[in-house]
Amino acid sequence: MEIPRLHPDTIEQVKQRTDIVDVVSEHVVLRKQGKDFVGLCPFHDDKSPSFSVSPGKQFYYCFSCGAGGNAIKFLMELGKRPFSDVVLSLAQRYDVPVQTLKPEERQEFQRQVSLREQLYELVAIASKFYEHALYQSAGSAALEYLEARGLSRATMQQFQLGYAPGGWETLTGYLVEQKKYPVELVERAGLIVPRKTGDGYYDRFRDRLMIPIHDLQGRVIGFGGRTLTDEQPKYLNSPDTELFDKGKLLFALDKARAAIAKQDQAVIVEGYFDVIALHHAGITNVVASMGTALSSAQVRQLLRYTESKRIILNFDADKAGTKAAERAVGEVESLAYRGDIQLRVLNIPDGKDPDDFLKTHPASEYQTLLDEAPLWLDWQMEQAIAAKDLRQSDQFQAAVQAIVKLLGNLPNATLRTHYIHRYAERLSQGDSHLMLRLEEDLRMQVRGERWHGRSQKWQTKSDRNLLEEAEIQLLRLYLYAPEHQAAIVAALEERDLEFSLSHHRFLWRQIQEVEETPIIHPSTPPAPLLSLIQDRCTDYPAEMMQLYALFQLDEKTKRDILRADLTIRAATAVMERIMCEKRCRHFQQLLAEIDDSSTPELGQYYWQKIHTEKRRIADLDRERQVSFEDLVQAPWVGEVQ
298 and 401 housed in the same domain:
no
Please tell me the predicted confidence (pLDDT) of residue 310.
Answer: 93
Same domain, 340 and 469: no
Give the domain range for residue 432: 388-450
The residue ranges of the chain whose pLDDT is under 50 are 1-2, 452-458, 519-524, 628, 631-632, 634-641
Residue 640 lies in a domain: no
243 located within any domain: no
Question: Does residue 641 form part of some domain?
Answer: no
Distances (CA, A) of 50 to 138, 262, 302, 309: 54, 20, 17, 16
How high is the pLDDT of residue 520?
A: 43
Domain assignment present for 107: yes
Domains in the chain, number = 5
Q: How many other CB atoms sit within 10 Å of the CB of residue 107?
A: 8
Domain of 300, CATH number, reads 3.40.1360.10
Q: ∠ CA(325), CA(161), CA(156), 5° rounding?
A: 95
In a shared domain, residues 598 and 471? yes
* Dihedral, CA of residue 184, residue 188, residue 193 and residue 195, to nearest 10: 40
Residues 227 and 262 in one domain: no
CA 441 to chain centre: 36
Report pLDDT for 462.
56
Q: Over the stretch 552-567, which tens digit does the pLDDT of each residue have?
A: 777 777 777 888 888 8
Say yes or no: 101 and 121 in one domain.
no
494 exposure class (CB count in 10 Å sphere: 0-12, 13-18, 19+): exposed
Calpha distance 410→523 (Å, rounded): 46
Answer yes or no: do 257 and 291 share one domain.
Answer: yes
Q: Determine the pLDDT at residue 285.
A: 97
Looking at the structure, tell me whether residues 506 and 625 fall in a common domain.
yes
Domain co-membership, 96 together with 134: no
Q: Is residue 1 one of the residues assigned to a domain? A: no
Residue type at 261 in one-letter notation: A
**Chain centre to alpha carbon of residue 363:** 31
Pair (413, 519) in one structural domain: no
How far is it, in rounded angstroms, from Cα 419 to Cα 422?
Answer: 5
pLDDT at position 474, please? 92
What are the pLDDT digits (tens) for 374-421? 999 999 999 888 878 888 888 888 888 889 888 888 877 778 888 888
* pLDDT score at 57: 83
Residue 108 confidence (pLDDT)? 55
